[in-house]
A and B are shown apart, each in its own frame.
Chain A
Amino acid sequence: MSRLASGGALIDRDTAISFSFDGKKFRGVKGDTLASALLANGVKLVNRSYKYHRPRGLVTSGPEEPNALVNLGSGNRHEPNIRMTQIELFDGLEATSQNRWPSLRADVGVLNAAASRLYPAGFYYKTFIHPRAAWKHVFEPMIRRIAGLGRAPTEADPDTYEHQYAFCDTLIAGGGPAGLLAARRAGEAGERVMLVEQTERWGGRLLVDDDAEIEGKSARDWIAEQVAALEAMDNVVMRLRTCCSAAFDHGYALLYERRGDHTIPTGPRHRLWRVRAKQIVGATGMIERPIPFYGNDFPGVMLASAVRDYVKLWGVAPGQDTVVYTTNDDGYRTALALHEAGCRVAAILDSRADPVGMLVEQAKAVGLIVMPSTGIGKVMGSKDGVREVQTVPLDKGDDVELGKRLQCDCIAMAGGWSPVVHLYSHSGGKVVWDTAQAMYRPDPENPPRDRFGEPYVRLVGGATGALTTHDVLASAAGEGAGVPVHCAAEQPASPVWFTPSHGKAALGGKHFLDYQNDVTVADIRLAAREGFESVEHAKRYTTLGMATDQGKLSNINGHAILADTLGKAMADVGTTTFRPPYTPISMGVIAGQEKGLLFKPVRQTALHDWHAGQGAEFEPVGDWRRPYRYQKGSEARAHSITREIKRVREAVGLLDASTLGKIIVRGPDAGKFLDLMYTNMMSSLKPGKCRYGLMCNDNGFLMDDGVVARLDEQTFLCHTTSGGSDRVHAWMEEWLQTEWFDLKVLTANVTEQWSQFAVAGPNARALLERMEGDIDFAGLPFMGFADGTLNGMPVRVFRISFSGELSYELATPTSYAVSLWEALLGAGDDLGVGPYGTEALHVLRAEKGFIVIGDETDGTVTPHDVGMSWAVSKKKEDFIGKRAMERSDLTRAGRKQLVGLLTEDPKFVLPDGAHALSADGKRAIGHVTSTYHSPTIKRSIAMALIEGGVDRMGETLEIGIDRKTTVKAVIASPVFYDKEGARQNV
């Protein structure tokens, strides 16, 4: 056990918590993270690395952790790739290690490491390129099996997630000293403040580095006072376990709140806050950097700050015998903390030649050994952790011999600090390299700017590069009154980007930069030698910083190695862009409530329940659900469809056509406007009449069609396709508002206000005449419109046909829909009345050669191409698409034209989209657009767009079915039934 006898600010030693890791039971205490609890149990090996399967332990104590990713939970609550350092322990927690087989201790993949000389940077690009076909069938499946982190869950997640919108004047990210002070100042000024902190505690590093005295109080008392003051303010919202994941344009921020990760959740497990803030203050602190040296990835090699955290926050000693390797004063705090906790410090290796200052003196005073100008040349260890280090002098260039051997079981790396500038960079702010402090800092000249051109993201505290508590609070106080702070002054650091390990060139062994992606110093040097000199190229070639930790630990070191290899200054190499999210967020919270029925709204007609009760099988049409067919008993699909088609051809069928778009266009200029919108003339339409119209876009290509009825002199009702009503309405408005705003026209989309049914078949008139009302069905001519009542219900009647049969469409206000539908069905049992679905509708219209927008058209088809030149006005001076249709490509001979296809074998139904082949079989000359078995003419029918098709009537084509098979089909008229249109004119 590594639990210390005393200490641990966050834990409650009296409350034990049991959990399991890889099936083995352990005990921790309340306040532990999974990481601290495993360390307390002496577990150092927690994972295998991604590429070489090297044994790895914890490196950090926070969200920047690269190694300790686990599978959390089991069954439907299994979640992969969770950082142990962020998992608060709860009773019954189950975690399993990743990327190992058969077990963490005996992992077969470690063979990769033995062969690691064969896997340099770019290995995959170089190796798996030949033969070409092998990538898809051999290499990729193999690599996918080997690679990967945790396993994706296989069951539906039982938890709920939600999105929450919020607004504030100031959003403060980070609940450390700078965040608390900034929040207090903003709160006192009366601003609406949101203060969020990614961990479960307020105070940040001040809880650990508590040697400062602030406003005459101890650090802890000062934190408690700030939290109490903020909690008392009504204008301040405070959230723990909430990470500001991203800052976007104009003050839009995403907060990721983990409500139910440390307990069984009541309510949503995670919440995504979508916040609009006038100002975003990043009090995001700093992250310590590791130091590249040979063997710096054995379990037990940790950041110095993390070692200190485990000792002081959780009362756990990561090692009993620690070597501290530091480039700055801060590393001494770790040595002192270990010493105070009763743990041995083997030595403090300092990169600086002459370390001085308060912290150095304190360390020397308690008898700790300080070795100036010394680094770690080599680490000896195993999967059980570090055993020994060998020192190396740092003041003798690269041509050195290794020095003293030191026994140890832990190495604390203090490589300097990197400000967390992510929020500044997310939204367009620039960062600059500070050579003196060896860090990227926000560039005050180039902040992110809001829509008024004013800065809206400001970093404070450690995120600006402030190192001491004094400087941190001075930066957070801004122009307001500062707070008096007493704390240790710190001397300049001397960064070490690379520690030589032996002799000249110093490249032996692995010096890890990116633990999560197994990128080494040698990989970056290789990339530079091979010409990947831009930092963005070197990143992609080596995958430096591309793992889930996004290079929080590795990037700066990697860029420094690149700069060194290229002989450039750090500032000239630059940095890669910091992109959101700051740490990974769950898939669940991205979806929020938008799953299942809430994923996308579904539109239903007033008759939906009736359809469902009649065995309707629904199909999506735009956002609508329409009955595809009505199943009787257990009959097969084809049987229902044939039955419904025969009903329309032989008796009378009812179709729920309520989904048709209905747009009212009204005003003195309505006719003139519709002349511009449709290819044919609408202004000449007489009130009481209907006309079929085509709508093209500015390219001259068909975009919608439908019947237009003139209700009165100034009012037109434009029908659109089922999926097209919103689009067409928006299209009309666009032209009215942005081009022809002088026209006196109003539009209204009344699609849902009116329900509409087709009554089609030879018995249609007989059925309608049995209803009570004032409409003269016999007297209503084809393409006529009438207004009246049926059984007391208001109706509009359009005598139009999409089936080729005698047909009326009835529109009624939606509240009458069910009554009218049921009245019609109840009036004609003996006439054979019954419903038909959309598939029957499609076959009926295809038998007649009527087009469907989206089947016969695909955005490159003109009215002329589908044989509808008759609907394109030659008289009108202008309409949308007119000029476009005059372009040479749209008038040339040989364009694809709509024709019918009759297969040689009448039983064979062509596949939809099948290609017609040229005579030599080498080229596709068109494709099948609609294809069905026609019960009416008892054979297969198809429509197709074929190059020059109209002039090739009677020609036999080969249609490709698959790679080997073709079938023969003859080009014919697309009108397969009742060519003269006699059936609708009765």
Chain B
Amino acid sequence: MLLIQCPACGVEAEETEFAPGGEAHILRPEPGCSDADFAMYLFERKNPRAVHYERWRHAFGCGKWFHMARHTHTLEIFGVYAADAPEPPQEIKDRIAERTAS
């Protein structure tokens, strides 16, 4: 069971206190978008055996959504960041580069 720190309230807690919300950084297309773009938005998700940027909610805590960079195989957590960030912070990207290089 993962141990996760919520970036909104700072609490470090068991995975069961959180709810997973799937892949992060998926852009909601404009109302008039093509069928292909809409299908991509609705259904297409990454499933890597690698670092995954994903959405979580501190469901049984402060209730806030946030993003997490987690390796799906080693379960290493590279960082958590705000749900409204358009992309992962540089600091987290650097850490991933450093830790996955070896």
A438 nearest CB across to chain B (Å)? 30
Bound-state CA distance A8–B65 (Å) is 62
- Cβ contacts A to B, 15 pairs, < 8 Å: A252-B3, A276-B3, A428-B74, A449-B74, A449-B76, A450-B76, A453-B76, A453-B99, A730-B57, A733-B65, A741-B83, A877-B31, A878-B31, A883-B31, A888-B35
Binary A-proximity of B48-84 (CB < 8 A = 1, otherwise 0): 0000000101010001110000000011110000011
* Chain B positions 25 through 46: 1 when the CB is less than 8 Å from some CB of chain A, otherwise 0: 0001101110100100010000
Interface residues of A (CB under 8 A from B): 248-252, 276, 428, 449-453, 698-699, 730, 733-734, 737-739, 741, 877-878, 882-884, 887-888
B35: A residues at CB distance < 8 A: 887-888
Question: A737's closest neighbor in chain B, by CB?
Answer: B65
The 7 nearest A-B residue pairs measured at CB: A451-B77, A250-B3, A737-B65, A252-B1, A453-B76, A741-B84, A878-B31
| Given known A-B contacts A249-B1, A877-B31, A884-B42, A453 and B74 have beta carbons under 8 A apart | yes
Q: Which of B32, B42, B57 is the one whose CB lies under 8 Å from A699?
A: B42
Q: A737-B83, A884-B38 are in contact. List 7 more A-B contacts (CB 8 A).
A: A248-B1, A250-B3, A428-B74, A451-B2, A738-B84, A741-B84, A883-B29
In the complex, A968 Cα to B38 Cα: how many Å? 43
In-complex Cβ contact of B63 among A249, A252, A698, A733 (8 A): A733
Q: Which residues of A contact B89 (CB under 8 A)?
A: none
Q: Using A699-B42, A887-B35 as known contacts, say yes or no to A738 and B83 having CB atoms under 8 A apart.
A: yes
- Distance, CA A903 to CA B32, complexed state (A): 44
Q: Which A residues are in CB contact (< 8 Å) with B76?
A: 449-453
Chain B binding site: helix, strand, loop or mixed by DSSP?
Answer: loop
Q: Which listed residue (B3, B29, B32) contacts A251, Cβ 8 A? A: B3
Given contact pairs A252-B3, A734-B65, A738-B84, A887 touches B38 in the complex (Cβ within 8 A): yes
Which chain A positions have C-beta within 8 A of B84? 737-738, 741
- Residue positions of B touching A, CB distance < 8 A: 1-3, 14, 21, 28-29, 31-33, 35, 38, 42, 55, 57, 59, 63-65, 74-77, 83-84, 99
Q: How far is the CB of B96 from chain A (nearest CB, A)?
A: 11
Closest to A729 in B: B63
* A742 nearest in chain B by CB position: B84
The smallest C-beta distance from B55 to any residue of chain A, in angstroms, reads: 7
By beta carbon, the residue of chain B nearest A734 is B65
Bound Cα distance from A762 to B14, whole angstroms: 55
Specify which chain A residues have a CB less than 8 angstroms from the CB of B31 in the assembled complex: 877-878, 882-883
CA distance A884 to B37 in the complex (A): 12
**Contacts of B38 on A, CB cut-off 8 Å?**
883-884, 887
Interchain CB contact under 8 A, B75 and A451: yes
* Chain A positions within 8 Å of B65 at CB level: 733-734, 737-738
**Complexed CA–CA distance, A699 and B99 (Å):** 39
Q: How far is the CA of A428 from the CA of B63 in the complex (A)?
A: 31
Known: A453-B76, A884-B42. A738 touches B1 (CB 8 A): no
For residue B17, give the distance in angstroms from its CB to the closest CB of chain A.
Answer: 12
Q: What chain A residues lie within 8 Å of B59 (beta carbons)? A: 730
- Chain A, Cβ-Cβ closest to B74: A449
The residue on A at minimum CB distance from B99 is: A453
| Contact yes or no, B83 A250, CB < 8 A | no
B75 lies within 8 A of A249 (CB): yes
Of the listed residues A452, A699, A737, the one surrounded by the most CB atoms of chain B closer than 10 A to its CB is A737
**A512 shortest CB reach to chain B, Å:** 38
Tell me the minimal C-beta distance from B80 to chain A in angstroms: 11
**Which residues does chain A contribute within 8 Å of B14, judged by CB atoms?**
252, 276
A491 to B17, CA, bound (A): 53
A698 B1 Cβ-Cβ under 8 A: no
Shortest Cβ gap from B41 to chain A (Å)? 8
Q: Write out the residue numbers on chain B whose beta carbons fall within 8 Å of the beta carbon of A249.
A: 1-3, 75
The chain A residue sitting closest to B100, CB to CB, is: A453
Residues of B within 8 A of A451 (CB): 2-3, 75-77
Are B33 and A883 in touch, CB under 8 angstroms? yes
Chain B nearest CB: distance from A448 CB in Å?
Answer: 9
**CB of B87 to closest CB in A, whole Å:** 14
Nearest-neighbor residue (CB-CB) of B66 within chain A: A737
In the assembly, what is the distance between CA of A347 and CA of B3, in Å? 56
**Do B3 and A738 have beta carbons less than 8 Å apart?**
no
Complex Cα distance A539/B16, Å?
33
Q: Which residues from chain A contact B29 at a C-beta distance below 8 Å?
A: 883
Please state if B42 and A739 are interface contacts (CB–CB under 8 Å).
no
Q: Measured between C-beta atoms, what is the minimum distance from A198 to chain B in Å? A: 22
Closest residue of B by beta carbon distance from A887:
B35
Q: Is the CB of B42 within 8 A of A698?
A: yes
Contacts of A252 in B (CB 8 A): 1, 3, 14
- State the Cβ distance, A143 to closest chain B Cβ, in Å: 37
Chain A residue nearest to B65 in the complex (CB): A737
Q: Report the nearest B residue to A454, measured CB to CB.
A: B76
Query: In the bound complex, how far is the Cα of B57 from the Cα of A738, in angstroms?
Result: 10
Question: If the complex has contacts A276-B3, A883-B38, are A734 and B57 also in contact, measured as CB distance less than 8 A?
Answer: yes
> Which one, B32, B57, B64, B75, contacts A250 given CB within 8 A?
B75
Q: What residue in chain A is nearest B13 (Cβ atoms)?
A: A276
**CB pair B2 A250 closer than 8 Å:** yes
Instruction: Closest A residue to B41 by CB, please name it.
Output: A698
Nearest CB on B from A923, distance (A): 28
Verify A250–B1 contact, CB threshold 8 A: yes
Q: Which residues of A contact B3 (CB under 8 A)?
A: 249-252, 276, 450-451
- Considering the complex, give the chain A residue whose CB is closest to the CB of B37: A883
Closest CB in chain A relative to B3 CB, distance in Å: 4
* B-side contacts of A883, CB under 8 Å: 29, 31-33, 38
A452 to chain B, nearest CB (A): 7
- The residue in B57, B75, B77 that gathers the most chain A C-beta atoms within 10 A of its C-beta is B75
Cβ–Cβ < 8 Å partners of A877 in chain B: 31
A737 / chain B contacts, CB cutoff of 8 Å: 64-65, 83-84
Residues of A within 8 A of B33 (CB): 883
Q: A252–B17 Cα gap in the complex (Å)?
A: 14
On chain B, the residues within 8 Å of A250 by CB distance are 1-3, 75
Do A734 and B21 have beta carbons less than 8 Å apart? yes
Nearest-CB residue, chain A, relative to B55: A738
Name the residue on A nearest B8 (C-beta). Answer: A737
Given the complex, which residues of B lie within 8 Å of A733, measured CB to CB?
63, 65
Query: With A and B bound together, what is the CA distance between A737 and B57 in angstroms?
Result: 10
The answer on a CB contact under 8 Å between B74 and A739 is: no
Nearest chain A CB to B53 CB, angstrom units: 13
Residue of A449, A730, A738, A882 ringed by the most chain B CB atoms within 10 A: A738
Report the separation of the CA atoms of residues A451 and B32 in the bound assembly, to the nearest whole angstrom.
Answer: 42
Closest to A882 in B: B31
Cα A698 to Cα B28 with chains together (Å) = 10
- For A427, the closest partner residue in chain B by CB is B75
CB distance from B12 to the nearest CB of A (A): 10
Check A739 against B28 for contact (C-beta < 8 Å). Answer: yes
Closest Cβ–Cβ distance, residue B98 to chain A (whole Å): 10
Contacts of A428 in B (CB 8 A): 74-75
Shortest Cβ distance from B33 into A: residue: A883
In the complex, what distance in Å separates the CA atom of A951 from the CA atom of B3?
56
Q: Which residues of A contact B55 (CB under 8 A)?
A: 738
- Which A residues are in CB contact (< 8 Å) with B1? 248-250, 252
Whole-angstrom distance between the alpha carbons of A129 and B10 in the complex? 58
Chain B neighbourhood of A276, CB < 8 A: 3, 14
- Chain A residues whose C-beta falls within 8 Å of the C-beta of B21 in the assembled complex: 734, 738
Chain A residues, Cβ within 8 Å of B2: 249-250, 451
Residue of A nearest to B24 (CB): A738
Residues of chain A with a CB closer than 8 A to B28's CB: 739
B19 CB to nearest chain A CB (Å)? 8
A733 to B57, CA, bound (A): 10
C-alpha spacing A416/B31, complex, angstroms: 70
Complex formed: what's the CA distance from A543 to B94 in Å? 48
Q: In the docked arrangement, what's the CA distance between A738 and B38, Å? A: 18
A451 to B68, CA, bound (A): 12
Question: Please, which residues of chain A bring their CB within 8 A of the CB of B32?
Answer: 883
Q: Which residue of B1, B29, B57, B84 has the most chain A CB atoms within 10 A of its CB atom?
A: B1
Residue on A nearest B77 in the bound complex, by CB: A451
Among residues of A, the one whose C-beta sits closest to the C-beta of B70 is A451
